[in-house]
Amino acid sequence: MNSRNHHTNAHPWAVGVLLALAASVWLAVPAPSMAASAAPVAGKIPRTSDGKPDFSGIWQTTSAAEFDLEPHAGRKDAPPGPGVVEGNAIPYLPQALEQKKKNFEARLSNDPRLKCITPGVPRSVYYPEPFQILQRKRDLTLVHQFGGNVRTIHTNNTEHPAEPNEWWLGDSRGKWVGDTLVVDVKHFNDVTWLDRAGNFHSDALHVVERWKYLDANTIAYKATIEDAKVFSRPWNIDVILHRHREKNFQIIENYCFTQEYEQYYPPKPPTETSR
């Protein structure tokens, strides 16, 4: 098993500590300028030296998927949205649907995101903060602004570990089908939610992602979600990702779990009364 992937699926508090140095290096890399490389002409997409689509860059969705995957009206804690679920409704099993309703009622306190836990997969892709993709032949590294989460998608023809594991981001193995990157993700824990509305999954979650360019600055992201403990059948979501092209745009650390300690850092010089 790749050691980097093992670390990125550790407890989220450990991720912030173990990857702080590595993330700081990645975070210093600004969004690649389209003019700095071979700028694609109309109808062309960026490609690597071996001809594969090159997803390197900083990406973000403008959808309301994070607030609720299903179609929803505006509410105090979320803007309205048309939903991103194929067929509009998530096919819950009856008992799981009751749990989803309980999650929704307690969403303002129980959403793992509020504890700065990683959004997980696929939620981290449509979470409304940017993430950066760094691509090479053997893998793609996704560095997320929220929580400094780092995810590895292996593209070196390796298989999932044989033994079941329970990781925050699952284990991602990708392959190219034409110009589409197809990623199989499994070995999850059951802690993360799929959105702020309380849609959830179990440790049996299995996600198949499809990443494909619509044009040089737009990615069509599709995911099939399967979980026999929670859903009656597999179901699909469809999200659009946009490339950040602002001058000098870059990922900014958002280790939100450190915010409660901000009053102590940096250390303040002693005052006369405290000496």
First vs last C-alpha separation in the chain: 53
CA distance 192 to 7: 17
pTM above 0.85, yes or no: no
Residues 88-129: tens digit of each pLDDT:
999 999 999 999 999 999 999 999 999 888 899 999 999 999
**Phi-psi sector, 49: left (phi>0), alpha (psi -120 to 50), beta:** alpha
Predicted local distance difference test score (pLDDT) of residue 254: 77
Average pLDDT of the chain is 85
Confidence of residue 202 (pLDDT cuts 50, 70, 90): very high
pLDDT (mean) for 244-261: 80
Residue 216 in 3-state DSSP?
Answer: coil
Q: Is the model's pLDDT at 63 over the cut of 60?
A: yes
Q: Is the model's pLDDT at 184 over the cut of 90?
A: yes
Residues 203-248: tens digit of each pLDDT:
999 999 999 999 999 999 999 999 999 999 999 999 999 999 999 9
Predicted local distance difference test score (pLDDT) of residue 39: 42
Decide: 141 and 134 in contact? Cβ < 8 Å: yes
Count of H helices and E strands in the chain?
6, 9
Predicted local distance difference test score (pLDDT) of residue 268: 66
CA distance 112 to 107: 9
Tokens of 206: 């299995």
Residues 1-50: tens digit of each pLDDT:
443 444 344 444 444 433 333 434 334 444 444 333 344 444 699 999 99
- Compare 35 and 173 and report the one with higher pLDDT: 173
Predicted local distance difference test score (pLDDT) of residue 81: 96
Confidence of residue 200 (pLDDT cuts 50, 70, 90): very high
Half-sphere exposure of 226 (CA within 13 A, CB side): 11
Rg (CA), the chain: 20
Decide: 168 and 12 in contact? Cβ < 8 Å: yes
Predicted local distance difference test score (pLDDT) of residue 116: 84
Predicted local distance difference test score (pLDDT) of residue 147: 81
Tokens of 199: 């849609």
- Compare 21 and 68 and report the one with higher pLDDT: 68
